[in-house]
Amino acid sequence: MKITLYSILLTTMLFTYSSCLITKQTKTGETLFAEKQYTLAADLLKSEFNKESDPSIKAKKAFQIAECYRLSSETIPAEQWYKTSYGLNDEPRAQYLYAQMLKSNEKYAEASETFSEYLKESPFDDQARSEVEACNMAQQWKRSPEKTVVENVEAINSPAYDYAPVLYGKSGMVFTSDREDAAGNEIYGWTGEKFSDLFLSTRDDKGAFSSPAPFSEVVNSNYNEGAACFSKDLTECYFTRCGSNQTTNDYCQVYFTYRTDESWSDPQIVPIFNDSSNVSQPFLTADGKELYISADVDGGYGGKDLYVLTKTEEGWGSPLNLGPNVNTTGDETFPYITDDGRLYFASNGQMGMGGLDIFMASRIKNQWGNVQNLKSPINSGADDLAILFEKINPKDQYKIKSQGYFVSNRPGGKGHDDIFHFIEEKVKVVLVYADVAEKVFEKENNPNSRITGLAPMAGIDVTVSMLDTNGNAVPKSQQVLKADQYGAVRFKAEAEKQYKISASKADYFSKSETASTIGFLVIDKDTLSDSVRIVLDKIYKNVQVNLSNIYYDYNKANIRPDAAKVLDTLLILLNENPSVQVEIGSHTDSRGKDAYNMRLSQARAQSVVDYLVLNGIDSLRLSAKGYGETQPVNECANGVKCTEEQFQENRRTTFKVLSDTFIIESTQPNEIIVDPKKEEEGP
């Protein structure tokens, strides 16, 4: 995946200031690579590669050359050098990164094929499996992009790195750049460019940007400065500085400065974590009460995580991690909070189109979730990050949903990272359509047989409720509709809203889906906005129904991440049907001792129950039953020679509905048992 300049500054600890400079000292390519002087290292390693005859050494040097290009955001040559390295020694890591570069260069079909080839040798790599899915999704998003116009802001951008824009007053924009006008004369060995500074450009009455100029001599220094944010009245500024003199640390830290009569105060470090942590990309909310940051500290979820600090009377409180719905094993960067409380951020750990993608998350009951990819054309195979929004002219509010700026190093720009402007248009719609169906099985009343199709559920009741921003039903918004002969309903919807559509029928599991008109404008014409399909499952009491795709590691009973995804579907079903009690069953194949298989299956069934209870299901609604090898679905009993596929048929997890009339009974006061000793002692 691609690495933007600011990712470069935050990926690892910077070397001391002097070691980051290009020197005339004679070094090997490997030494320069270790010092993260990738621009110089790539040239020297290529020379060494051409002189080398040993294939294994050539493969290693080709891999290091590819790494130099990848870490410098040069994904096209990185792709070629990873391919060369893999061709020399079949190293799986080179093949995986080759596939990553294919994806970053938007060669999605080829990337998917390469990831699939990699999985043949590394079948348990869940990340690679997710990448195959991501490649398929990216192709769909490219074929059907969002209605958004994206343009390069050429007046601001340069051949260097230009990124991290922030609006400054009514007409200004402050951004980060390592262009020729940056302070100092030294060259940063990682990028081959100067150290970065903050720059300011202003717009005239026609919206044209002026030629950028250095923002402040007080803020800019001989080190890397960037990613600034300002208080609403522009009197306070938080920014990031990476690097220092030789007497202090060389990590990225958040600094604070305030406006004086004519300039800015001497910047001071904001104490957030200890000195050996990289902290960056501050974002101050409009009310000044919260400060969001990106940091790579111990105890997080992976690389760089997003944190929030709350303002107190004593200053900033302790940083709070935004949690696993936002943060991943990858990097989360460039937080941005809109006036209505939505979080936008960049991530290479969420499912995306290539490198860093921009995502949106919502806060519900003090927890962040509902993470959504902004898709194409905001996102691409390149790194896309640092989004911000600007106010819409009132005369355009009926045709524009949102507008603002973001950063990308996609092909066709003026330099490395460029700043882009976007306008997201509203789509005119009025109707929401939903249809309800049930599964048709090859063998009637056998839910474990093959599904042959769907049958419409004519006349079923469908309940529609409008949702507020917290996902709760708006009072008095509920309406009950009767499905037509095709199991379909249609209803008029308000713009910029979300709706919960629920279907229920006796002897079926209730189910709901969400429809959205956000970004749509209601008009008088019958124009379709969104469509939803709800497939109801029939309740088969005391029948074991297979839960597909739940696998366990050999000789283990713990829930694997891929199994958790299937169980989350069961979790939703149980939450939407609180009166249902179920038995979770587990079955093994006939290999192994009978008693051992019985114990193992019981442990596996119990682990599923424990997972459901941990996620909020009442334990009284659940029971675990291990069947061992006592109920094979084929002839593969003890001593029978079978294929691996036949054994796999018998290794399964099931659920069985025991009752659909479960009610939580409350304990009345006169039923409470009191300890006689406590009663004698009194209160």
**Both ends of the chain: CA-CA distance in Å?**
66
Q: Is the pLDDT of residue 671 over 70?
A: no
Structure confidence by residue, pLDDT tens digits, 233-286: 999 999 999 875 544 456 899 999 999 888 999 999 999 987 678 999 999 999
Answer whether 0.85 is exceeded by the pTM: no
Burial environment of residue 573 by CB neighbours within 10 A (0 to 12, 13 to 18, 19 or more):
middle
Query: Hey, what amino acid is at 640?
Result: V
Structure confidence by residue, pLDDT tens digits, 570-618: 999 999 999 999 999 999 999 889 999 999 999 999 999 999 999 999 9
**Inter-axis angle of helices 38-51 and 55-71, to 10 degrees?**
160
Query: Hey, what amino acid is at 510?
Result: S
Q: Residue 683: its pLDDT value, please?
A: 35
| CATH number, position 600 | 3.30.1330.60
In terms of Cα–Cα distance, which of 521, 317, 309 is closest to 401?
521
Which residues, other chains included, contact 182 with Cβ-Cβ below 8 Å and sequence gap of 6+? 194, 195, 196, 197, 214, 220
Number of domains comprising the chain: 4
Which stretches does DSSP call E strand in 409-527?
418-425, 427-429, 431-441, 451-456, 461-467, 479-482, 488-492, 498-504, 511-516, 520-522
- In terms of domains, do 42 and 135 share one? yes
Whole-angstrom distance, CA of residue 141 vs CA of residue 462 = 31
Structure confidence by residue, pLDDT tens digits, 486-524: 999 998 887 778 899 999 998 898 999 998 887 765 555
Whole-angstrom distance, CA of residue 92 vs CA of residue 551 = 25
- In terms of domains, do 386 and 531 share one? no
Range of the domain at 644: 545-659
| CATH number, position 77 | 1.25.40.10
- In terms of domains, do 133 and 163 share one? no
Last residue of a domain, one of 83, 111, 143: 143
Q: What is the dihedral of CA 467, 533, 461, 463, to 10 degrees?
A: 0
Q: Which residue has the higher pLDDT, 624 or 16?
A: 624
Over range 287-305, report the average pLDDT: 94
- How many angstroms separate the Cα of 615 from the Cα of each of 31, 214, 429, 546? 50, 52, 38, 21
Structure confidence by residue, pLDDT tens digits, 190-229: 565 678 999 999 999 888 999 999 999 999 998 899 999 9
Average model confidence (pLDDT) across the chain: 87
In a domain, 668, yes or no: no
- In terms of domains, do 135 and 172 share one? no
- In terms of domains, do 68 and 90 share one? yes
Over range 330-349, report the average pLDDT: 96
Find the farthest-apart pair of alpha carbons in the chain and give their distance in angstroms, rounded: 94
Q: Residue 240: its pLDDT value, please?
A: 96
Structure confidence by residue, pLDDT tens digits, 117-171: 999 999 999 889 999 999 999 998 998 888 899 999 999 999 999 999 999 999 9
In terms of Cα–Cα distance, which of 362, 360, 329 is closest to 344?
360
In a domain, 62, yes or no: yes
| CATH number, position 531 | 2.60.40.2190
Least confident interval from 52-61, 179-188, 338-347: 179-188
**Counting runs of H as helices and runs of E as strands, what totals does the chain give?**
12, 37
In a domain, 400, yes or no: no
The DSSP bridge partners found for residue 406 are 420
In a domain, 665, yes or no: no
In a domain, 679, yes or no: no
Find out whether 296 and 305 touch, Cβ atoms under 8 Å: yes
Q: Residues 618-652, buried b or exposed e (16+ Cβ, 10 A)?
A: eeebbbbbbbbbeebeeebeeeeebeeebbebbbb
Place of tokens 């995306």: 352
- In terms of domains, do 313 and 207 share one? yes
In a domain, 253, yes or no: yes
Which residues, other chains included, contact 517 with Cβ-Cβ below 8 Å and sequence gap of 6+? 429, 432, 493, 494, 495, 496, 497, 498, 499, 529, 530
Query: Hey, what amino acid is at 564?
Result: A
Note if the bond before 632 is cis, omega within 30 degrees: no
In a domain, 151, yes or no: no
In a domain, 150, yes or no: no
Place of tokens 């080759």: 98
Structure confidence by residue, pLDDT tens digits, 4-50: 554 544 443 344 334 444 444 568 888 898 888 888 899 999 999 99
Q: Residue 200: its pLDDT value, please?
A: 97
- In terms of domains, do 303 and 168 share one? yes
In terms of Cα–Cα distance, which of 95, 35, 84, 92 is closest to 61?
84
- In terms of domains, do 127 and 182 share one? no
- In terms of domains, do 177 and 312 share one? yes
- In terms of domains, do 325 and 280 share one? yes
In terms of Cα–Cα distance, which of 263, 318, 262 is closest to 295?
318
Place of tokens 């936008």: 344
Over range 166-193, report the average pLDDT: 80
Whole-angstrom distance, CA of residue 148 vs CA of residue 665 = 53
Last residue of a domain, one of 143, 175, 199: 143
Whole-angstrom distance, CA of residue 594 vs CA of residue 638 = 9
- In terms of domains, do 291 and 318 share one? yes
Query: Hey, what amino acid is at 9?
Result: L
Percent over 90 (pLDDT), the chain: 60
| CATH number, position 210 | 2.120.10
- How many angstroms separate the Cα of 114 from the Cα of each of 119, 121, 311, 348? 9, 12, 49, 19
- In terms of domains, do 82 and 192 share one? no
The token pair at 363 is 């806060």
- The three-state DSSP-derived secondary structure of 270-324 is CCCCCCCCEEEEEEECCCCCEEEEEEECCCCCCCCEEEEEEEECCEECCCEECCC
DSSP secondary structure string for all residues of 581-627: EEEEEEE--S-S-HHHHHHHHHHHHHHHHHHHHHTT--GGGEEEEEE
Whole-angstrom distance, CA of residue 91 vs CA of residue 650 = 36
